[in-house]
C-alpha cells in the first residue's frame, strides 16, 4: 500500500511540474478532469508502461532507455485522446538567462510540446523514484 501511495505522490508531483513548466497544458474547468488526468498518468506509469517495457526490453537495452521515452510520448498521446478536457497546445519558449547561461527562444509546435511534456514527466518520475526508493 505504501508503494502505491508513493507512486501516486510522485505522479502528482511530476504532472504538477510539467504543468508549471509548460503553460499551454490545459486540463479543463471541471475538477474531475484533474483526477482523471492524474489517474490516467498513474495507470500509465504503474501498469501499462512496465508491461510494454518488459515486452520491449531487448530494444530498450540496445537504445539505452530511449524506448521508455518514446513509449511515454505515445501514452501521453493516448491520454490526450481519451481525456476530454486534457489538451496540450503549441508553446513559444521566450528564452531565458540563468546566471549567464543563455537559453535561446524556441517555438514548439503541438507535437514537440507533447514530446517535451512526456520528457519532463518521464525525467521527474525517474528522478523522484531514485530519490524516494
User: Could you read off the pLDDT of 79-108 as tens digits, one per residue?
Assistant: 888 888 888 999 998 888 888 899 899 999
pLDDT band at 22 (very low <50, low <70, confident <90, very high): very high
Average pLDDT over residues 52-61: 80
Give pLDDT, residue 43.
Answer: 84
In terms of Cα–Cα distance, which of 88, 87, 121 is closest to 10? Answer: 121
CA distance to 48, 54, 101, 102, 104, per residue, from 91 (Å): 28, 33, 21, 19, 14
Give me the number of domains the chain comprises.
1
Flag whether 96 is in a domain.
no
Domain residues for 123? 2-91+103-132
Average pLDDT over residues 107-122: 92
Flag whether 73 is in a domain.
yes
Flag whether 75 is in a domain.
yes
Give pLDDT, residue 32.
Answer: 85
Amino acid at each position: 500500500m505504501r508503494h502505491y501511495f508513493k507512486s501516486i505522490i510522485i505522479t502528482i508531483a511530476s504532472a504538477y511540474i510539467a504543468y508549471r513548466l509548460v503553460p499551454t497544458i490545459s486540463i479543463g474547468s471541471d475538477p474531475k478532469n484533474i483526477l482523471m488526468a492524474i489517474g490516467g498518468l498513474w495507470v500509465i506509469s504503474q501498469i501499462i508502461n512496465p508491461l510494454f517495457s518488459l515486452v520491449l526490453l531487448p530494444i530498450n537495452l540496445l537504445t539505452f532507455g530511449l524506448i521508455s521515452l518514446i513509449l511515454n510520448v505515445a501514452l501521453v498521446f493516448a491520454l490526450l485522446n481519451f481525456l476530454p478536457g486534457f489538451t496540450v497546445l503549441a508553446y513559444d519558449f521566450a528564452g531565458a538567462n540563468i546566471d549567464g547561461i543563455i537559453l535561446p527562444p524556441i517555438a514548439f509546435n503541438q507535437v514537440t510540446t507533447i514530446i517535451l511534456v512526456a520528457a519532463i514527466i518521464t525525467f521527474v518520475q525517474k528522478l523522484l523514484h531514485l530519490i524516494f526508493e
